[in-house]
Amino acid sequence: MSNVHSFQSKDAIREEACLWISRIDRGLSIEEKAEIRKWASTSSAHALELKLAAEFWDETSVLQELSSLFPLQFTESEPKDNYLPPALAIACSVVLIAFVFTFLPFKGSEKQFDEDKKVSSHYVYATSMGENRSFRLPDGSAAHLNTDSELSIDYKPDSRSLQLLRGEVHFDVAHDAKRPFSVEAGALSVTAIGTAFNIELGAEDIELLVTDGRVLVTEQNIEITSTDVESLKAQPINNDNLIISSGEKANLTASRVKSADVETEKVTLAEVQKELAWQQGMLVFQGEQLSVVLEEVRRYNDINFDLADKTLGQIQVAGYFKAGDIEGLINTLESNFDIQHERTEPKRIKLSSANL
């Protein structure tokens, strides 16, 4: 018997179903089709919420895709139920809004970058705790900042220099052969090579996930020119360069970067979706210890957790839920793990076993 405890409330299943429908709407890859079949077959509740979400979305193409994926469960000839639970309507509406805003340019105080003149410009983008937000950068690139993050950009006629000051960000980089797109994080620099990638800046390390193309990782004092970037599209400049490609993840230290010193790992589509679930305001856990889960939850709010018994922190948890939903987390721990809570201070919660 597995010792990994899974929690997934009806609301969480509903949220995930809406996310799947939104992905169907923009088109599924072969890997995603396999993932949705696996998810829907996990339980009848998954299949039901998927069907209800599709009816709410009310797009013929979505229903047709579901009919092809699940010919025995989803048929276009079935009459629609005119009633949808309000919670489902809200959940799908939130997902739709999230996807729309992901691709909208940010309307703020910064000036529009003049691409023809390529004048110099400097902007700072930031999110507060519990907030994630998408920004359209002056060159057309997209930056999606996670909770409590800050990004500084400095654009010049021959370069695009950015600095992640804190937190986490995902980039979808606009092509510009004459201006390299380089991001400083800690003491490292990450240069895009036709790329989409994610950077999380921790206290002692940096996590880098590449979702499209490749990136070059160097120390900050190494200058990368547009000629270097073009040559890297074919092959690395020399053996000291660290190249990370699409579908790979690396945990880096800030002291030095040598390809021989860093281990990269291949990640599956499911793992990429888990890593980037924060973009939709969700957190996904796949067997992490409760202590790790609480540490991650802490990034999205200012609540501190105390464990009455350290062994509670060793419980392995799997699940999918909203970031920042403390009440939902507490209710889940109580109903699934017999863990009770006590609010010892306005911003501090003590967790203990109900069996003691």
Task: Give me the CATH number covering residue 298.
Answer: 3.55.50.30
Domain assignment of residue 232, given as a range: 121-269
For the segment 192-203, what is each residue's pLDDT rounded down to a tens digit?
987 899 999 988
249 or 29: which carries more pLDDT confidence? 249
CATH code for position 216: 2.60.120.1440
Residue 206 and residue 286 in one domain? no
Buried (b) or exposed (e) across 136-146, using 16+ Cβ within 10 A?
A: bbbbebbbbbb
118 or 137: which carries more pLDDT confidence? 137
Residue 200 and residue 253 in one domain? yes
Residue 59 and residue 160 in one domain? no
Q: How far apart are CA 347 and CA 285, in angstroms?
A: 24
Q: Is residue 184 part of a domain?
A: yes
Q: Give the model's confidence band at 234: pLDDT under 50 very low, under 70 low, under 90 confident, else very high.
A: low
83: helix, coil or strand?
A: coil
Q: Give the model's confidence band at 56: pLDDT under 50 very low, under 70 low, under 90 confident, else very high.
A: low
Q: Is residue 107 part of a domain?
A: no
For the segment 75-93, what is each residue's pLDDT rounded down to a tens digit?
544 444 444 454 544 455 4
Residue 76 and residue 134 in one domain? no
Task: Using the 3D structure, point to which of 102, 136, 152 is the last residue of a domain.
Answer: 102
Residue 149 and residue 212 in one domain? yes
C-alpha dist (Å) from residue 345 to 15, 140, 299: 31, 46, 19
Task: Using the 3D structure, point to which of 222, 249, 269 is the last residue of a domain.
Answer: 269
Q: How far apart are CA 122 and CA 51, in angstroms?
A: 47
Q: Give the model's confidence band at 107: pLDDT under 50 very low, under 70 low, under 90 confident, else very high.
A: very low
Q: What is the pLDDT of residue 41?
A: 84
Q: Is residue 108 part of a domain?
A: no
Task: Using the 3D structure, point to which of 269, 302, 328 is the last residue of a domain.
Answer: 269
Q: What is the pLDDT of residue 81?
A: 45
pTM for the full model?
0.68
Domains: count for the chain: 3
Q: What is the pLDDT of residue 7?
A: 53
Q: Is residue 54 part of a domain?
A: yes
What mean pLDDT is reported for the chain? 78
220 or 166: which carries more pLDDT confidence? 166
279 or 256: which carries more pLDDT confidence? 279
Residue 140 and residue 9 in one domain? no
Residue 244 and residue 131 in one domain? yes
Residue 135 and residue 265 in one domain? yes
Residue 15 and residue 128 in one domain? no
Query: At 173, which amino acid appears?
Result: V
101 or 26: which carries more pLDDT confidence? 26
Q: Give the model's confidence band at 303: pLDDT under 50 very low, under 70 low, under 90 confident, else very high.
A: very high
Residue 23 and residue 159 in one domain? no
Q: How far apart are CA 222 and CA 149, in angstroms?
A: 25
Q: How far apart are CA 329 and CA 47, in angstroms?
A: 24
Q: What is the pLDDT of residue 52?
A: 76
Most confident of 106-110, 221-225, 305-309: 305-309
Residue 227 and residue 321 in one domain? no
Residue 54 and residue 170 in one domain? no
Helix axes 44-57 and 30-42, enclosed angle (nearest 10): 120
Q: Is residue 15 part of a domain?
A: yes
